[in-house]
Amino acid sequence: MSVLDLTVPAPTQATQGAEVAETIEATEFRLLGPVAVHNRQTGTSIAPSGPKQRALLATLVVHAGQHLSVDRLVEELWGDRPPANAPSALHTHVARLRRLLPAPGHEWISTLPTGYLLSLGSASTDAARFTRLSGQGRATAPGDPRDATRLLGQALALWQGSALQDSCHGPLCTAEAGRLEESRLTTLEALYEASLNCGRHAETVGDLERLTAVHPLRERLYDLLMVALYRCGRQSEALGVYERARRRLLGTLGVEPGPALRCRLEAILNHCPTLTPARPRRADLAAEAARLQTRIDQLVKDQAHLLRSIREQGAGG
């Protein structure tokens, strides 16, 4: 009688390759908040411990697929006062970063004759997801503001703090953080415009009041707040928002509000019909009717279940 072999077979090269590919595909580099490497399968994140490591990772990811020279990376990490052994110190930071990245054995960072290059491969970034969802939401807004609010809300939900948080020391990361923050504000404005077009003017007033306080030079936010207040029947307050914006712009920049805000003022003073929210599209009404019908069907089922339970309890008594 033969002895049963219970030895666990070693993983094949193909199996190992598949596991590495899965890990890479599940990897998401996060830039919309603290810089980290996130695994979407396990929900775990790894963050470089030191500011130089975070700045290096952020710089390489922001410029993924691009050759970054040693000189540019040294400037990014140490500014105009690099250490005497800056290239060696940079090499050490790159080596530590390689050990931190997932899928051991996969070459995320390539060493080139004059610098380094990070390849994303099938990995992703939260910044790219944000850009995609924001673009889809803004493209959808004119025809379907309700769906646009969903997409734009999903885009903004990706943010976990300021862009490249604790990593903006050099010109490359500073410029990218500024671009991302501007895109975030543009997306916020698109979200509130879509919300107004859904008839949610009363719900948006408080948020827009707070946003104009945080971004006092952002004319588009004043514009949206004026519309929201006007649609709530608060015309005098809407006019007051214009005066507040004018004082802040004059006091800080020495300029009057731009033509868009001045046109909004004129429209409110003249009760322009364009300020009245558009009626919901037929498709929106049909979708709302379908949602209500689904809710009614569920209530009927719940009622039948409750009556059946009452009868069974009565029969048992």
DSSP, residue by residue, 33-94: SB-EEEETTTTEEE--SSHHHHHHHHHHHHTTTS-EEHHHHHHHHHTT---TTHHHHHHHHH
Tokens read off for 47: 């963050």
Tokens read off for 104: 């051991």
Taking a C-beta distance cutoff of 8 angstroms, is the pair 76, 61 a contact?
Answer: no
Taking a C-beta distance cutoff of 8 angstroms, is the pair 313, 265 a contact?
Answer: no
Give the model's pLDDT for residue 214.
96
**What are the tens digits of pLDDT across the range 50-71?**
899 999 999 999 999 999 999 9
Helix (H, G, I), strand (E, B) or coil at 116: strand
Give the model's pLDDT for residue 219.
97
Check pLDDT > 70 for residue 289: no
Tokens read off for 83: 């250490």
Residue 301: pLDDT band with limits 50, 70, 90:
confident
Residue 1: pLDDT band with limits 50, 70, 90:
very low
Amino acid at 39: N
Q: How far is CA 233 from CA 13, 16, 123, 226, in A?
A: 70, 65, 50, 11
Find all residues with CB under 8 Å of 184, minimum gap 6, and list them. Answer: 130, 156, 159, 163
CA 16 to chain centre: 33
CB atoms within 10 A of CB 106: 17
Residue 288: pLDDT band with limits 50, 70, 90:
low
- The rounded distance, in Å, linking the Cα atoms of 51 and 72 is 17
Give the model's pLDDT for residue 135.
97
Angle CA 233–234–236, to nearest 5: 135
For 23, phi then psi, to 5°, come to: -65, -45
For 27, phi then psi, to 5°, come to: -80, 130
Taking a C-beta distance cutoff of 8 angstroms, is the pair 181, 213 a contact?
Answer: no
Q: Under the phi-then-psi rule, with left for phi > 0, alpha for psi from -120 to 50, and beta for the rest, what region is 116?
A: beta
Q: Which of 136, 170, 133, 152 is nearest to 52 (CA)?
A: 170
Give the model's pLDDT for residue 177.
95
**What are the tens digits of pLDDT across the range 67-90?**
999 999 999 999 989 999 999 999
Helices 219-231 & 235-252, crossing angle to 10 degrees? Answer: 170
Taking a C-beta distance cutoff of 8 angstroms, is the pair 229, 305 a contact?
Answer: no
* CA-CA-CA-CA torsion sign (286, 292, 297, 300): negative
